Chains A and B, each alone.
Chain A
Amino acid sequence: MHIMEGFLPLEWCIVWFALSIPVVLYGILRIKKITEEVPESKSLLAVSGAFMFILSSLKIPSVTGSCSHPTGNGLGAVIFGPAVAAVLATIVLLFQAILLAHGGLTTLGANIFSMGIIGPLVAWIAYKSITKAGLGSVIAIFFAAFLGDLLTYVTTAIQLSLAFPIPTFGDALFKFLVIFAYTQLPLAIAEGLLTVVIWNGLKSLKPRLLEKLKVINPKYENLAETENIPKPN
């Protein structure tokens, strides 16, 4: 759920930019450090960002009969961590604004805050805490995608009701949340399910790679002994 170009008044555009830019800058510093240590990771990050772009332009069927676009940030945050995911989401949102006319340039700050910062952060915390609790990564990835998606919408609702607090902030928030609950709750579940299917694919085809990225803990998973795709060395 992107906020449309021009939908927010000027002062709120500035506020959300001011809140998002420090986080994105921190992410860029992280990426700088990573790419200085491992120069090859730059292209890996770029193709992952492109993957997120394709994922977010995918149509998934949902219960309400409508189609939705997944945010794709849950997966990115789990694999690369929330700070890097914020930077990738920023570029993805920029391209969505320019190439697909989803979202916009003036509302970019607000969209980064909801989809690039809150969503991935929640997804990452959910994934880490559920895997720490000893439950399998499949359950964790479902809740990561589901909660990441849901909290993105809640943040958007808060942003909208802050911009249009009529009659009061609480009243507007309630109205936006009711509308979102009807339309977005099924979509969040749909995204959770789709992410699980993708996750199962990743796990069965290249488990060692996920282990190397420190995403799954082999202690709790029964992984295939050999990779289906031969390793280069």
Chain B
Amino acid sequence: MALEIDYIAHNNNLKDVESKIKIAISGLLLLVALIANIPIVSILIFFIAAIFLLAIAKIPVRFYLKFISIPLSFAVITTVFMIFFFGTGTILWDTGIWGVVVREDALNLGITTFLRVMACFSALGILSMTTPVNEILHFSAKLKIPKVFLEIAMLMYTTIFIFLDQFEAMSNAQKTRLGYNGLKNTYRSLGLLMSNLFFKSLDKGEKLQNSLDSRCYSGEFPVYKK
């Protein structure tokens, strides 16, 4: 399934802990990493988050590694770019190719940014791997975020999964008919897929509204708490 993270968020060791606490921990770590902006603090937060997720929330190690590798590749590329092309300080190492040099301030900036990205990303991971989206939205209602915004977000969240199923079924049907053979066919198939999905979405929207109306929807999905 495409959204494995959603399954993890509903099935981890901390799923019954109140969402307020999980959101607070994640937000606190995120802010500390951002405000402090010191490599040692970033490293500390990265390890706190790793221990929290693996030991307390019992997230599968394989999934944790997959999650952390998403920012890793991007962060490494940007950091290398920063280290080699930025900076005005003293030259630490001259590569000798086209005057590309490593400067002291660029190296510092690159390392600080890299560690900050990893720390913030782990803090975000705490939120997204332990707290389901509907609980996050339910919590946001207390932060005076407009109700209509959250309503649409909630309806959107439920609809995404219906679409993912339809998307999979339709693209499988296209694949069995060699729909993705060559660049031209790929574009044609993707276009057909998305335009059909759009009409399906309009139909679905109508049906969704009818079913909500018939169940006395007043703009709120109550969340059951133990």
A contacts with B: majority SS? helix
Number of A-B contacts (CB under 8 A): 204
Q: Is B127 on the interface with A (CB-CB < 8 A)? A: yes
Cβ–Cβ contact B163 & A166, under 8 A: no
Max count, chain A CB within 10 A of own CB: residue among B30, B136, B209:
B209
Cβ–Cβ contact A200 & B120, under 8 A: no
Q: Is A6 on the interface with B (CB-CB < 8 A)? A: yes
Cβ–Cβ contact A209 & B202, under 8 A: yes
Which of chain B's residues have a CB closer than 8 A to the CB of A51?
A: 163, 197-198, 201
Q: Is A139 on the interface with B (CB-CB < 8 A)? A: no
- In the assembled complex, the CB of B1 is this many whole angstroms from the nearest CB of chain A, namely 12
Q: Is B188 on the interface with A (CB-CB < 8 A)? A: yes
Q: Is B3 on the interface with A (CB-CB < 8 A)? A: yes
Find B190's partner among A10, A60, A164 (CB 8 Å cutoff): A60
Q: Is A104 on the interface with B (CB-CB < 8 A)? A: yes
Q: A6-B119, A31-B148, A198-B191 are in contact. Are A101 and B5 (CB under 8 A)?
A: yes
- In the assembled complex, the CB of A17 is this many whole angstroms from the nearest CB of chain B, namely 12
Find B159's partner among A47, A106, A198 (CB 8 Å cutoff): A47
Which one of A91-99, A119-127, A146-154 is at the interface?
A91-99
Q: Is A229 on the interface with B (CB-CB < 8 A)? A: yes
Specify the chain B residue showing the minimal Cβ separation from A2: B74
A interface size (C-beta, 8 A) = 65
- In the assembled complex, the CB of A4 is this many whole angstroms from the nearest CB of chain B, namely 5
Q: Is A175 on the interface with B (CB-CB < 8 A)? A: yes
Chain B contacts to A: CB under 8 angstroms: 2-3, 5-6, 30, 33-35, 37, 67, 70-71, 74-75, 78, 81-82, 85-88, 105-106, 109, 113, 116-121, 124-125, 127-128, 133, 136, 146, 148-149, 151-153, 155-157, 159-160, 162-164, 167, 183, 186-188, 190-192, 194-199, 201-202, 204-206, 208-209, 212
6 contacts between A and B (CB under 8 A): A4-B74, A4-B75, A45-B152, A49-B156, A197-B191, A200-B191
Chain A contacts to B: CB under 8 angstroms: 4-7, 9-10, 13, 25, 28, 31-32, 35, 39-40, 42-51, 53-55, 57-58, 60-61, 87-88, 90-92, 94-95, 97-101, 104-106, 164, 166-167, 172, 175, 179, 193-194, 196-202, 205-206, 209, 229
